[in-house]
Amino acid sequence: MLPLPALLCLCAAAAAASSASRGDYRLAGLFPVPRAAARPPVHGCDAAAAFRSHGSCLALAMRFAVEEINNSSALLPNVTLGYDIRATCSEAANLRAVLHALARKGGQEVGALPPFRRYEPDVVAVIGPDSTRLALTAAAVLGIFLVPQVSYKASLETLSLKRFYPSFLRTIPSDRQQVKAIFLLLQQFGWTWVALLGSDNAYGRDGLDALYKLLTASNVCVAYRGIIPTNKDANSPELHNLVRILRDVRVNVTVVFSNRKSAHPFFEVVVQRNITGMVWVGSEDWSLARTIWQVPGIQSIGSVIGMLVEKTDSTMLKRFESWKAAEESAAAECAGSTEAGEGVGGSAQLDCTQSCTACHLLTAVPNTYDAQASFSVYSAVYAVAHGLHDLLGCASGTCSKGTVYPWQLLQKIKQVNFTLYKSRISFDANGDIHKGYDIVMWNWSGPSWAFDVIGTFHVNPDRLSIDQGKILWHTKDGQAPASVCSEACQPGEKRLQQTRHRCCFSCVACPSGTFLNRSDLYGCQSCGVDEWAPARSEACFNRTVEFLSWSEPLSLALLTPTVLLMLLMAGLAILFALNASTPVVKSAGGKMCFLMLGSLASTCSSIFCYFGEPTRHTCLLRLPLFAISFTVFLSCVATRSFQIICIFKLNTRWPALYEAWLRRRGPVLFVATSTAAQAVLCLASEAASPSTPWRDYGVSAERVVLECGPSAALGGAAAIAYTLLLSTCCFVLSYAGKDLPASYNEAKCLTCCLLLHLACTAAVLCTRDAFRGREEAVARVLGSLCTLSALLGGYFLPKAFVILLRPHLNTPEHFQMAIQRYTRRLAEAAERGATDPPRGR
């Protein structure tokens, strides 16, 4: 190797167009450095080109890494790495550098190639180039020969496509990760109305397209998407028109996915046109660029949030600066020797004095961009070294220096996994490094420009964390500015889209029975059949299932008189059984009294079918049990009234009628016939439409009424009509016996009872549509209880009163005297009728 002072003078501290160190295995470094005076001129790298201090720092970082590895005993022992640093300040220079890297060992040109697997180029790997545009060309050419290419700056997502760029790797995150970070940042602050701008190159256009696809698939609307024209200055009409459009779309947040070269004149125009109070989200290329934050008046544009590759550990930077200090001392000696005329030309002297002092204090705030890029170069060199270390079998302590083919080294580099100053260096299947971003924000609160790290973006899995306490917004209240096309709707209001943008809408309340699902803000969804929702609801609620349960207080209040009524019937049956031979019991119907009490008890038992959740059995029993049992009772009452009339009134006129009635078993036949008719009505209604439990959803929105099906109403109407007919017959027969002996005259009591029964029936029929479900069941139970109580109180209780409290009225003598008085009254009435003179017409 050449002595260090001589090397510095000849190659201008790795900033010349070509700087080389042979070593056992060489790495090619492609950097944006100025050309050497001795090199042939290349278009775009002429002597008038500005000296690029950033490229010099990157070249120095490669040299630093190579020398550090060569001086290491743990990595590549007894093996030295060389380097060949070349300028890539244009497409032509970049292609020439790539072809030079592909030249075969020994100085042969690429022309006559040996078998592919045996091809051995002059370098084992290529570091760089820096720009995406140049990396695409280099990756396409190097990929043909599977020469490993590790880029430190090209972040274009397309380079991850292995079928086009099989040998490309990088130590900077892919733009895919940067796009995800920006997307999560916009969502974090609720910015749904944004503008997107990109530089007119592959970096800007591809990043803009990827971000646009991600945003349009979410709830973020892109108000405007534009391209910043390239190679324009602040007087460009295109730039002024772009800024005017940005003002007209009225967005508060603009994402600028651009390189620094295009961003600089754009922000100059932004300041000129007095665009203030906005939020600017920048990609990592310009977010900390000195040329941007030095634009005069840029502190007035608002808040600037940018992406920055994960923070570099300061230990490496300090060591790098110490190494550079030694290099600068050597450069000073070089400069002194050239002044003394020690064989170095004037242009080389300029290179010496500028290159070695080009980048100082990488840990200082303004040089963070250089520091990050330098660490990426440093990581790339170490990645190649670790791959070569594994390929040469250096784990044993001694490396076997053999021929290294590019495709062999490529496989090893893809598998590296090591830690470098707390940073994990490994590649995924696409050759991308597992690395995230720091979220930075410009800070103008001090005397000069600075930035704060306000959050981080980590990968695998993707997650963004923001420290709200570190953010200094440009707003007066210090709160994050809003950027929406339309204000958010109130809870339970759907969005009615007004334009092609989903974020521009009006708000319409969801009607009752529907709800707004947060996954679809543009439509109200209907609730399920067993659910309900009020207007402006964001959820459905289960409907209350309603029926007359056994355990509620109202049910207990109804069940108590029902049970007492049945006990009263049982008591009356016992009382009548014990006094069956007495005149009162015989006058009430004798043995028929027990049938009447039994039918009333059966009718009363139908009340229990209204309690609890309706079932098929209770629905089937409810109507027939009541109607048939009550028909038996009314038939018995009609039979008993008819018999009394026959005995006292018709027997003298048509004595054969009563005898035929008894002989043909008229009472039994009448009760059986009328009961059978009622049973046929009930069976016909059930056969036509079986009464089964069903859910009535039409009563109210909040309730589901469990009740028996519509056939119960139809059958109930027929049964009620039939019972009304029997009640009318009973009433007529009872009224016809109003002048019978007092012991046989129940006309008044039965009339009152039947009138009360009719009133209860009318009340139930009238409230059928007013009451549903639980209320309807209560109304039917109350109607049945009133009817049964009236019949018991009007027909049986007076007789029980006589039996228990007026026993002297329950004797044959008393009944004989009543009959005699009735007969005497009839005779007197007949005599008066015979003596009275006939009246004229």
DSSP for 56-111?
Answer: HHHHHHHHHHHHHHHT-SSSSTT--EEEEEEE-SSHHHHHHHHHHHHSBTTS--SS
CA distances from 695 to 268, 370, 613 (A): 72, 75, 11
At residue 216, the 3 state secondary structure works out as helix
What is the per-residue pLDDT for 792? 86
For residue 808, the 8-state DSSP code is G
Torsion of CA 283, 284, 286, 290, to 10 degrees: 150
686: number of Cβ within 10 Å: 19
Residues 342-373, buried b or exposed e (16+ Cβ, 10 A)? Answer: eebeeebbbbbbbbbbbbeebeeebbbbbbbb
For residue 25, give the nearest of 117, 101, 111, 130 by alpha carbon.
101
Structure tokens at 112: 């006559």
pLDDT digits 0-9 by tens, 769-816: 667 778 888 888 888 898 888 888 878 888 888 888 888 877 777 766
Predicted local confidence at residue 563, as pLDDT: 93
**Four-way CATH pick for 175-312+436-470: 3.30.930.10, 1.10.10.10, 3.40.50.2300, 3.20.20.10:** 3.40.50.2300
Please report the pLDDT score of residue 651 as a whole number.
Answer: 58
CA dihedral of residues 774, 711, 613, 602 (deg, nearest 10): 90
Pairwise CA distance, residues 200 & 132, whole Å = 12
The answer to whether the 4-173+313-426 and 175-312+436-470 domains have the same CATH topology is: yes
Fold classification of 553-830 is: Rhopdopsin 7-helix transmembrane proteins (1.20.1070)
In the block, tokens 């290529």 appear at 126
- CA atoms of 600 and 789, how far apart (whole Å): 10
Mind giving me the DSSP string for 381-398? HHHHHHHHHHHTTGGGSS
Instruction: Report the DSSP beta bridge partners of residue 451.
Output: 442
Q: Give the pLDDT confidence score for residue 1 in this predicted structure.
A: 34
Task: Please give, one letter per residue, the 3-state secondary structure of 366-385.
Answer: HHHHHHHHHHHHHHHHHHHH
Cα torsion 13, 15, 21, 26 to 10°: value is: 140
Helices and strands (H and E) in the chain: how many: 24, 25
Domain boundaries, the chain: 4-173+313-426, 175-312+436-470, 493-542, 553-830
ω into residue 534 within 30 of 0, thus cis?
no
Instruction: Name the fold adopted by 4-173+313-426.
Output: Rossmann fold (3.40.50)
Q: What is the pLDDT of residue 295?
A: 93
Specify whether the CB–CB gap between 184 and 457 falls below 8 A. Answer: yes
**Cα–chain center distance at 762:** 55
Chunked mean pLDDT (size 10), the chain, 841 residues: 32 41 89 58 42 77 93 91 89 87 65 66 91 90 94 92 95 93 94 94 93 91 93 90 92 94 94 93 92 92 93 80 78 57 36 41 54 90 96 90 92 94 91 92 89 92 92 89 89 87 89 88 88 90 88 90 92 90 80 88 90 86 86 85 68 63 76 89 80 81 81 64 82 68 60 76 71 81 87 84 83 70 62 53 35
Q: Looking up tokens 């009524």, which residue turns up?
A: 565
Non-local (6+) Cβ contacts of 46 within 8 A are: 35
Distance CA 303, CA 657 (A): 114
